[in-house]
Amino acid sequence: MTFKLLAALAVAAILAWKRYLDYRAVIRSIQNHPGSRSVISPFGVAAFLFPDPIPGIYPGSLRTWYYKHRDFEECGVDIISAVSYFPKPEVVLQVADPAAIKEITTRRSKFPKSVHQYEILKFFGPNIVASEDEEWKHFRKTIAPAFSDRNNRVVWEETMKIVSDLFDKVWAGQKQIVLDNALQVTFPIALFVLSIAAFGRHISWEDEHEIPPNHKMTFKDALHIVSTDVVLKIATPEWIVKHFPTKRMKIVSFAFEELEQYMKEMIHERQTSVEQEERYDLLSSLLQDGPDGLPKLTDQELLGNVFIFLMAGHETAAHTLCLSFGLLALYPDKQERLYRHIKSVIPDGRQPRYEEMSLLTESIAVFYETLRLFPPAHSLPKRSVEDTTLVTTDDYGNKVVVPCPKDATLVLHIPGVHYNPRYWEDPYEFKPERFLGNWPRDAFLPFSSGARACLGRRFFEAQGIAILTMLVLKYKIKVKEEPEFAGESFEERKERVLKTKAGLTLTPVRVPIVLTRRDEGSLERTC
């Protein structure tokens, strides 16, 4: 027994020593470039499983969000390193330099997407987010036609109808609308718009709570549970779900099953439809023969891509709008400025037309500033396929050449860019007006950049700007007063209202607001 124990200890010591030598070799390969050193890497799968830090061992995956640009400021340079022991010593370079990010995203063959980190998103099948090379090109060519100006017009017009129905039917006759969380409104609106504009599926305010035949959960509830608890699904091994499920695990598993059934029904209904109406939505593009002789998507590829666009399309819009309303409630002067501008574009109070979207510059500015402050994704992984270098500058303007070894992971640090004082004056302040003049477009990355930039950006903007404009036109937004928070300072209220948590995308915890119907003549009387 003693011999076996000694042998085991000897082997463990040899492995530990080898791991240490590997760790030191990795640090030498980047010439000990400034950055963090930890036992466990905060990137990869661990980012989903363990968001919170363990002092001295694990910095936590949310450090990227909570520290924003501070780690770069401490190191004095906008590219920093992160080296850890486990799961294996490897180079991770975090990049908050817009010029370096532009080089990385435009040179795709040299810096491809690190798709292995997205494998966990293939719940229902391969998709455009978790793909690269020829597979990604196939998906992009198939999906791109759906995001035409013609379909974006449909998005705008359908959004107007859905929001008008909310005002005129659901909220009819009510002077005030009290919401414990603004997501109560932004979530269904975003889902209804996505359903009709992307998948041709009409959902009205009247039937949002109706459970259709052959289902035990509404489409809205299934999608909401899946998007809210996707991290639980990722983090829980299948054998635990099967043999030792908690009540919450059972609900999440059931929601995934329901959502899969809904998606299959949408696809089957469109495939077997006898209507000859020409459609331009996303689902139509997915079902067509591939362009340039490419084959049709398989059933699993259809499911995988429908799921990704359902998740990304509704969740990012709902969360961004929710936070926009919270910001406007906290800053009534910014809200009043936005209202006055909207009235100047449409003084008669009518619905704005799609052609007028570009004139709504204040709405766009508020929407963009929300995305700058609260980017849906806080990091984008790439990898280096060869030994190379990246160039940045330090705090004194000196050129810094950063070694980038083959197989290094590159993390495009979105909060690091969005809160970088070199590009954004007072970066922690809510200043929509910064987007009204010349602004640093390369330092604005909520939609990524380069060839893999978000295909649905205009779709997303049309929906969000239409909803924001319509709501501010008709209602004043205030923070809901709650007795337990009486006496809090503005900074305390701001922190509480704008608090976020980890999810598939950055998720607001609770944005309590009160909407008060505007007096249509109030602006004229105050002028």
Annotate 116-127 with DSSP letters as a single string: GGGGGG-SSS--
Annotated binding residues, as ranges? 454
Amino acid (1-letter code) at residue 364: I
In angstroms, how far is CA 137 from the centroid of its own chain?
A: 22
Please report which confidence band the pLDDT of residue 33 belongs to, taking 50, 70 and 90 as the band edges: very high
Classify residue 429: in a domain, yes or no: yes
pLDDT exceeds cutoff 80 at 118: no
Classify residue 14: in a domain, yes or no: yes
Tell me, what's the pLDDT at 223?
83
Please report which confidence band the pLDDT of residue 145 belongs to, taking 50, 70 and 90 as the band edges: confident
Element (DSSP H or E) covering residue 19 = helix 2-29
Annotated binding residues for heme, as ranges? 454
**Which tops the pLDDT comparison, 217 or 10?**
217
Q: What is the mean pLDDT of the chain?
A: 87
Question: Mean pLDDT across the stretch 215-225?
Answer: 87
Classify residue 437: in a domain, yes or no: yes
Classify residue 400: in a domain, yes or no: yes
Tell me which of 27-36, 128-137, 224-233, 263-272 is least confident.
Answer: 224-233
Classify residue 396: in a domain, yes or no: yes
Tell me, what's the pLDDT at 522?
43
Helix (H, G, I), strand (E, B) or coil at 79: strand
Give, as one character, the DSSP assignment of residue 34: S
Residue 456 tokens, joined: 């649905």
Classify residue 82: in a domain, yes or no: yes
**Which tops the pLDDT comparison, 331 or 191?**
331
Tell me, what's the pLDDT at 290?
63
pLDDT exceeds cutoff 60 at 276: no
Classify residue 25: in a domain, yes or no: yes
Query: What is the distance between the terminal CA atoms of the chain, rounded to a whole angstrom?
Result: 91
**Which tops the pLDDT comparison, 144 or 405?**
405
Record the pTM. Answer: 0.90
Tell me, what's the pLDDT at 396?
87
Residue 77 tokens, joined: 């340079």
CB atoms inside a 10 Å sphere around CB 441? 9
Distances in Å between the alpha carbon of 299 and those of 127, 243, 268, 295, 480? Answer: 12, 30, 10, 12, 46
Tell me, what's the pLDDT at 208?
67
CB atoms inside a 10 Å sphere around CB 227? 23
Taking alpha carbons only, the member of 478, 465, 463, 131 closest to residue 336 is 478
Amino acid (1-letter code) at residue 197: A
The answer, yes or no, to whether the previous bond of 87 is cis (omega within 30 of 0) is yes
Please report which confidence band the pLDDT of residue 455 belongs to, taking 50, 70 and 90 as the band edges: confident
pLDDT exceeds cutoff 50 at 376: yes
Q: What percent of the chain is predicted at pLDDT more than 90? A: 46
Taking alpha carbons only, the member of 380, 384, 381 closest to residue 30 is 384
pLDDT in tens, 158-179: 999 999 999 999 999 899 999 9
pLDDT exceeds cutoff 50 at 479: yes
Residue with tokens 């635990």: 240
Please report which confidence band the pLDDT of residue 286 belongs to, taking 50, 70 and 90 as the band edges: confident
Tell me, what's the pLDDT at 363?
97
Tell me, what's the pLDDT at 505?
83
Tell me, what's the pLDDT at 408?
92
Tell me, what's the pLDDT at 410?
93
Taking alpha carbons only, the member of 341, 392, 382 closest to residue 363 is 341
422/418 Cα distance (integer angstroms): 10
Classify residue 401: in a domain, yes or no: yes
Please report which confidence band the pLDDT of residue 523 belongs to, taking 50, 70 and 90 as the band edges: very low
408/385 Cα distance (integer angstroms): 8
Number of domains in the chain: 1
Q: Look up the domain containing 72 and give its range.
A: 1-113+379-445
Cross-strand partners of 82: 36, 92
Tell me, what's the pLDDT at 362?
97
